Chain A
Amino acid sequence: QVQLQESGPGLVKPSQTLSLTCTVSGGSISSGSYYWSWIRQPAGKGLEWIGRIYTSGSTNYNPSLKSRVTISVDTSKNQFSLKLTSVTAADTAVYYCARDACSGGSCYWGHYFDYWGQGTLVTVSS
């Protein structure tokens, strides 16, 4: 059973960089044709996909965040990470990491998130 766990600071100052790491257990991050995604959810609001990475290093980002986001992977540690620069109060949210599977066996039809971490609250405040 694949498990994901987010870690990182729970408080970040405005204009600084938010950094989170997701540790994958129960399987190798490199096995299978999976991407690895970050998703966030402001309190009382809906889900927003931030971006994803393949173990080759290939990335896709939400256009609304692309200029501020970097997702990287460390296969030796079975981890992938998120960096979000120039944060503001609007970036306060619960951040989830998730395994990202191609739908119908082909990414042509899109993708979905079959395993999720428990989430970590990041508050942007001075």
Chain B
Amino acid sequence: QSVLTQPPSVSGAPGQRVTISCTGSSSNIGAGYHVHWYQQLPGTAPKLLIYANSNRPSGVPDRFSGSKSATSASLAIAGLQAEDEADYYCQSYDSSLSGGIFGGGTKLTVL
């Protein structure tokens, strides 16, 4: 049972826009801690996709965007491409655990 809750799966057709939610609580996202997102392609290590709620590292396409409000955050992927098929994880900090926490992950299927 992850501290951050994500939908197990989402899907969309090429070119469409999908969003992945990440719901936390008052001891993590709701306390103001930043949310970060990672993309994990099959058989590879996670890759930082979004940091500090809405910032993209160099090299990440602007099709990927992040937002945060209250006790939740969202990752949006516009113009879906086949190569976006992967697992996506949100991550934040929890004050009651005094450490990093991850969501359970969401598998994105491009139809």
Chain A contacts to B: CB under 8 angstroms: 37, 46-49, 51-52, 60-63, 96, 101, 103-104, 109-114, 116-119
Please determine whether A47 and B89 come into contact, CB atoms closer than 8 angstroms: yes
Q: Are A112 and B99 in contact (CB under 8 A)?
A: no
Contact in complex: A47, B52 (CB < 8 Å): no
Within 8 A of A (CB), among B72-111: 89, 91-93, 97-105
| Contact (Cβ within 8 A) A111 B93 | yes
Q: A116 near B34 (CB under 8 angstroms)? A: no
Taking residues whose C-beta sits less than 8 angstroms from the other chain, chain B's interface range is 20 to 34
Q: Is the CB–CB distance between A109 and B99 below 8 Å?
A: no
Shortest C-beta distance, B111 to chain A (Å), equals 22
| A101 neighbours in B (Cβ, 8 Å) | 51
CB <8 Å contact, A46 and B89 = yes
Q: List, in ascending order, chain A residues with CB within 8 A of B89's CB.
A: 46-47
Q: Are B2 and A109 closer than 8 Å at their CB atoms?
A: no
Inter-chain contacts of A114 with B (CB < 8 A):
48, 51, 57
Q: Give A60 Cβ to nearest chain B Cβ, in Å.
A: 6
Q: Is the CB of B102 within 8 A of A48?
A: yes
In this complex, what residue of B is CB-closest to A64?
B97
Least CB separation from B89: chain A residue: A47
User: Given A62-B99, A103-B34, A117-B45, A112–B51 Cβ distance below 8 Å?
Assistant: yes
Q: Which of B45-64 contact A (CB under 8 A)?
A: 45-48, 51-52, 57
Contact between chains at A110 and B102 (CB < 8 Å):
no
CB–CB A113/B48 < 8 A? yes
Partner of A46, one of B98, B99, B105: B105
Cβ of B15 < 8 Å from any Cβ of A? no
Q: Is B32 an interface residue (CB 8 A)?
A: yes
Shortest B17–chain A CB gap in Å is 24
A112 and B102 in contact, given A103-B52, A118-B45 (Cβ under 8 angstroms): no
Q: Is the CB of B45 within 8 A of A110?
A: no
A115 and B93 CA atoms in complex are apart in Å by 18
A to B CB contacts below 8 Å, 23 in the list: A37-B100, A46-B89, A47-B102, A47-B105, A48-B102, A49-B100, A49-B101, A51-B99, A52-B100, A60-B98, A62-B100, A96-B46, A103-B33, A109-B33, A109-B34, A109-B52, A110-B34, A110-B100, A113-B36, A113-B46, A113-B48, A116-B47, A118-B44
